Amino acid sequence: MKKVFKYIGLGLGCILALAGGFCAYVAIVGVPAYDPPVIPEVTVEKTPARIARGEVIAQIQCMACHADNENRLTGKHLAEVPALFGTLYSKNITQDKEKGIGNWTDGELIYFLRTGVRRDGTYAPIMPQYPNMADEDMKSVVAWLRSDRFPVQPAGAEAPESELSLVSKLLTHTLMKPLSYSPKLVSLPDSTDEVALGRYTADAIGDCYSCHSGDMIDQSKTHPERSKGYYGGGIEMKDNEGKSVFTANLTFDDQTGIAKKYTKEQFIRVVKTGVRPDGSILRQPMFPRPMLSDQEVGAIYEFLKTVPKIKNDIAQKNAEVQLAEK
Ligand code: HEC
Ligand code: HEC
């Protein structure tokens, strides 16, 4: 009998030693790098229509994470990210040739936005990837990045390097990986199909599910609907005062979702202005999206009706954490 325990002890000891060794290895190598990719040869034509559309997508995506106080995309501290993941900064993506992306080709930008991998094979784990964004929208983003709009004009300021926690580094060796590049054409949704337009706006360009699902890690970028707790909310984030705020349950659950909380008109208003029907204001990191059209936001509402309902009482979670923070 004693012998058995000895072997179990030895086994456990080995597992611990291996895990310790793996952690030490990860702490030293950091985020893994990949083979430098084959970059697609694309040259994006910069039409006014594309620049205008690119600005809409930039306003609901890129600016929230890359804009400084003057609205230049020189990079900034991402205060909403829980400390568990480290201290994270985005980067300068202005046209500055040294500090920004002035020297990137159109193909390199598109490859990076789809996969998370730069031309030299390094991987950016925190930056979202956009595998389901339509090619036309992707080109619009690139056209806007190359345009003469103020936010992307060359600026030399730079945010500090991110300090990823051991947890984040471990994740990049296990669950968080770059996506593979698919040359397959991604087309725009049929704009007369409200649910399809809503799904596209929320999942492919709005990235709403990445905050409004049940877990920050257990998500699928290529198949968002496979994400854990898809649109059931409950991820704990930090507002601009450093206080905890849970992401809302956007499913149509009768009691805990938005079914009875918002009519379609009220939903359009809260998403575009950040003001709830009772006059209260949504807290950061949720920000208003006035640049989306009523048709697009209304379509998100119709799409959310089709998402499986999840019972998750966010009001109670917020109340509990507020009590604890007092
Ligand atoms: C959730 C926050 C977030 C959003 C949204 C976001 N980014 Fe980023 N981005 C980052 C972070 C953080 C990094 C730095 C990653 C790193 O250093 O590993 C980054 C890096 C980059 C880089 C690489 C820059 C370099 O010098 O290596 C490019 C290019 C980029 N982002 C473009 C964009 C564009 C275009 C959009 C909008 C379509 C966008 N980002 C949206 C957070 C974000
Ligand atoms: C960076 C994370 C993040 C992203 C991305 C995000 N949200 Fe939110 N959202 C939140 C948080 C946090 C709250 C809760 C705010 C509060 O309680 O004051 C919230 C609240 C809401 C609410 C209010 C719900 C209620 O019960 O009152 C709506 C509606 C909403 N978001 C819709 C959206 C839509 C649509 C998108 C995509 C276009 C989106 N959100 C993207 C974090 C996010």
Give 283 Cα–ligand 2 centroid separation in angstroms: 9
For ligand 2, mutation pick of 61, 85, 210, 211 (most atoms within 8 Å of CB): 211
Structure tokens at 285: 């990191």
Sign of CA dihedral 250, 90, 74, 132: negative
Distance CA 188, CA 5 (A): 61
61-97 tens-digit pLDDT = 999 999 999 999 999 999 888 888 899 999 999 999 9
- Pull the structure tokens for residue 121: 């094979």
Share of the chain above pLDDT 70, in %: 96
> Using CA positions, which residue lies closest to atom 43 of ligand 2?
286
C-alpha 269/C-alpha 278 separation (Å) is 12
Residue 20 reports pLDDT greater than 90: no
Residues lining ligand 1, judged by CB closer than 6 Å? 57-58, 61-62, 64-66, 88, 90-91, 93, 101, 112-113, 118, 124, 126-128, 141, 145, 162
Distance separating alpha carbons of residues 326 and 317, to the nearest angstrom: 15
pLDDT at residue number 123: 95
For residue range 307-317, what is the model confidence (pLDDT) as tens digits?
Answer: 999 999 999 99
Measured in Å, residue 236 CA sits from the centre of ligand 2 at: 12
Burial of 151 (0-12, 13-18, 19+ CB in 10 A): buried
Atom of ligand 2 at shortest distance to CA of 297?
Answer: 35
pLDDT band at 2 (very low <50, low <70, confident <90, very high): low
Q: Are strands 86-87 and 163-164 parallel, antiparallel or unpaired?
A: antiparallel
Nearest to 92 by CA among 164, 162, 178, 154: 154
Domains and CATH numbers, the chain: 48-173 (1.10.760), 194-325 (no CATH)
For residue 235, the ligand 2 atom closest to its alpha carbon is 12
Atom of ligand 1 nearest to the CA of 109: 29
Mean pLDDT of 46-52: 98
Question: What is the pLDDT at residue 188?
Answer: 97
Residue 51 has a pLDDT of 98
Q: What is the pLDDT of residues 260-276, one digit of tens each?
A: 999 999 999 999 999 99
Rounded to the nearest whole angstrom, what is the distance from the C-alpha of residue 90 to the centroid of ligand 1?
6
Closest ligand (CA of 207): 2
Distance, CA 4 to ligand 2 centroid (Å)?
54
β-bridge partners, 123: 117
164 CA distance to ligand 2 middle (Å): 25
Give the pLDDT confidence score for residue 183 in this predicted structure.
87
Q: Which residue has the higher pLDDT, 194 or 16?
A: 194
What gap in Å lies between CA 113 and CA 92, rounded to an integer?
15
Bridge partner residues of 65 (DSSP):
none
Q: How far is the CA of 209 from the centre of ligand 2 (A)?
A: 9
Residue nearest to atom 30 of ligand 1 (CA): 93
CA distances from 176 to 34, 135, 260 (A): 13, 24, 36
Residue 13 pLDDT: 66
Residues with CB under 6 A from ligand 2: 202, 206-208, 211-212, 237, 245, 247-248, 250, 258, 261, 267, 270-271, 276, 282-283, 285-286, 289, 300
Residues 6+ apart with CB under 8 A from 138: 110, 113, 114, 130, 186
- How many CB atoms are located within 10 Å of the residue 61 CB? 18
